[in-house]
Amino acid sequence: MESSEEIRISDPNRDIEKILVFLRTSFCRQNGGQGRGSMAPFPWHSHTYLNGPGGLVLEDGHTLFDYDVGLNDIVQMMIKAVDADMVKSTPPPKSLSSSTDKNKENKSDASVSSLSENESSSQYFKIGDLVDAKDLTNGAWFEAKILDIKPAGKQVLQDQQTNDQSNVDKETINASKIENDGFVYQIQFEDYEDSVDPVDLSLHNIRPRARKKMNFEALKKGDKVMVNYNIEEPKERGFWYDCCITGLKESKTAKSMTATIYIGADSTPLENCKIILLDEIFAIEKTVAIADKTAGSEENAIAPREKMPKCNHCKDIPTRKCKICSCHICGGKDQPEKQILCDECDLPYHLWCLTPPLTEIPKEDDWYCPDCKVDETEVVRAGEKLKASKKKSKMASANSSTSRDWGKGMACVGRTKECTIVPPNHFGPIPGVEVGTMWKFRVQVSESGVHRPHVAGIHGRESDGAFSIVLSGGYEDDLDEGDEFKYTGSGGRDLSGNKRCAEQSCDQTLTRMNKALALNCNASLNKNGAEAKDWKAGKPVRVVRNCKGRKHSEYCPEEGNRYDGIYKVVKYWPEKGKSGYLVWRYLLRRDDPTPAPWTKVGKKRIKELGLEMQYPEGYLESQEEKEKAATANASEKKGKKRQNDDSPEPKKKQKAYYTLPSDVEKCIKDDKLNKKLWDECLEVVSEGSQQFSRKVEEMFSCICCQEVVFNPITTVCCHNICKSCLDRSFKAKVFSCPMCRQDLEKACINQSNKTLQKALLLLFPGYDAGR
Determine the Cα–Cα distance for residues 752 and 727; give it in Å rounded to an integer: 12
Quickly count: other Cβ atoms within 10 Å of residue 520's Cβ: 24
pLDDT tens string 152-165: 775 555 555 555 54
Query: Binning pLDDT at 50, 70 and 90, where does residue 116 land?
Result: very low
Determine the Cα–Cα distance for residues 444 and 469; give it in Å rounded to an integer: 15
- Do residues 588 and 569 lie in contact, with contact meaning Cβ atoms separated by under 8 Å? yes
Q: Is 260 helix (H, G, I), strand (E, B) or coil?
A: strand
- Do residues 221 and 246 lie in contact, with contact meaning Cβ atoms separated by under 8 Å? yes
Q: Which has more pLDDT, 714 or 686? A: 714
Topology adopted by domain 662-763: Herpes Virus-1 (3.30.40)
| Strands annotated E in 135-236 | 141-151, 183-189, 199-201, 206-208, 224-229
- Beta bridge mates, 130: 145
The architecture in CATH of the region 213-283 reads Roll (2.30)
- Say what the pLDDT of residue 578 is: 86
Determine the Cα–Cα distance for residues 623 and 41; give it in Å rounded to an integer: 14
In the CATH scheme, what is the code of domain 121-154+181-209?
2.30.30.140
Amino acid letter, 319: T
- Asked whether residue 640 carries a pLDDT value surpassing 80, the answer given is no
- Do residues 587 and 522 lie in contact, with contact meaning Cβ atoms separated by under 8 Å? no
Residues with Cβ within 8 Å of 207's Cβ and at least 6 positions away in sequence, in order, are 131, 132, 174, 284, 285, 286, 287
Over range 447-458, report the average pLDDT.
Answer: 92
Residue 338 main-chain phi, psi, to 5 deg:
-100, 20
Residues with Cβ within 8 Å of 312's Cβ and at least 6 positions away in sequence, in order, are 236
- Do residues 459 and 504 lie in contact, with contact meaning Cβ atoms separated by under 8 Å? no
Q: Which has more pLDDT, 364 or 678? A: 678
- Say what the pLDDT of residue 639 is: 57
DSSP letters for 314-328: TTT-TTS--TTTS-T
- Asked whether residue 47 carries a pLDDT value surpassing 60, the answer given is no
Between vectors from CA 375 to CA 370 and to CA 378, what angle results, nearest 5°?
A: 155
- Say what the pLDDT of residue 75 is: 62
Highest mean pLDDT among 106-115, 191-200, 571-580: 571-580
Over range 133-139, report the average pLDDT.
Answer: 90
Residues with Cβ within 8 Å of 118's Cβ and at least 6 positions away in sequence, in order, are 148, 149, 150, 151
Residues with Cβ within 8 Å of 223's Cβ and at least 6 positions away in sequence, in order, are 244, 245
Query: Binning pLDDT at 50, 70 and 90, where does residue 4 land?
Result: very low
Quickly count: other Cβ atoms within 10 Å of residue 700's Cβ: 21
Arithmetic mean of pLDDT over the chain: 80
Is 213-283's fold the same as 662-763's? no
| Strands annotated E in 435-593 | 438-439, 458-461, 465-471, 479-480, 484-488, 530-531, 541-546, 561-576, 582-590
CATH class of 437-494+503-609: mainly beta
Determine the Cα–Cα distance for residues 570 and 123; give it in Å rounded to an integer: 102
Helix ranges (DSSP H) in 276-393: 390-393
41 burial type by CB count under 10 A (0-12 exposed, 13-18 middle, 19+ buried): middle
Using a pLDDT cut of 90, give the percent of the chain over it. Answer: 41
Highest mean pLDDT among 108-117, 310-319, 492-501, 551-560: 551-560
Highest mean pLDDT among 169-183, 358-372, 736-750: 736-750
Indicate the pairing of strand 465-471 with strand 541-546.
parallel
Determine the Cα–Cα distance for residues 141 and 241; give it in Å rounded to an integer: 6
Q: Is 181 helix (H, G, I), strand (E, B) or coil?
A: coil
Over range 472-480, report the average pLDDT.
Answer: 85
Quickly count: other Cβ atoms within 10 Å of residue 689's Cβ: 20
Q: How far is CA 211 from the centre of its chain?
A: 50
- Say what the pLDDT of residue 698 is: 92
- Do residues 597 and 578 lie in contact, with contact meaning Cβ atoms separated by under 8 Å? no
Give the residue among 599, 762, 615 at the shortest CA–CA distance from 689: 762
Query: Binning pLDDT at 50, 70 and 90, where does residue 730 land?
Result: very high
Query: Binning pLDDT at 50, 70 and 90, where does residue 558 land?
Result: very high
Determine the Cα–Cα distance for residues 640 and 652; give it in Å rounded to an integer: 26
Q: Which has more pLDDT, 372 or 30? A: 372
- Asked whether residue 201 carries a pLDDT value surpassing 80, the answer given is yes
Over range 102-114, report the average pLDDT.
Answer: 46
Determine the Cα–Cα distance for residues 122 and 182; give it in Å rounded to an integer: 9
DSSP letters for 559-585: SSEEEEEEEEEEEEEEEE-TTSSEEEE
Give the residue among 613, 614, 611, 612 at the shortest CA–CA distance from 658: 611
722, containing H or E segment: strand 720-722
| Lowest-confidence segment of 109-113, 297-301, 434-438, 466-470 by average pLDDT | 109-113
Domain ranges in the chain are: 1-22+58-79, 121-154+181-209, 213-283, 437-494+503-609, 662-763
Using a pLDDT cut of 70, give the percent of the chain over it. Answer: 74
Give the residue among 186, 189, 57 at the shortest CA–CA distance from 113: 186
Residue 161 main-chain phi, psi, to 5 deg:
-65, -35
310 burial type by CB count under 10 A (0-12 exposed, 13-18 middle, 19+ buried): exposed
- Asked whether residue 424 carries a pLDDT value surpassing 80, the answer given is yes
Q: Is 543 helix (H, G, I), strand (E, B) or coil?
A: strand
Q: Quick one: DSSP state of residue 668? A: H
- Say what the pLDDT of residue 77 is: 62
Determine the Cα–Cα distance for residues 507 and 512; give it in Å rounded to an integer: 14
- Say what the pLDDT of residue 246 is: 94
- Say what the pLDDT of residue 111 is: 41
What is the radius of gyration, based on Cα positions, of the chain? 38
- Say what the pLDDT of residue 496 is: 76
- Do residues 206 and 186 lie in contact, with contact meaning Cβ atoms separated by under 8 Å? no
- Asked whether residue 83 carries a pLDDT value surpassing 80, the answer given is no
- Say what the pLDDT of residue 546 is: 95
| Lowest-confidence segment of 140-144, 412-416, 518-522, 635-639 by average pLDDT | 635-639
**With helix as H, strand as E and coil as C, how does 733-765 read?**
CCCECCCCCCECCHHHHHCCCHHHHHHHHHHCC
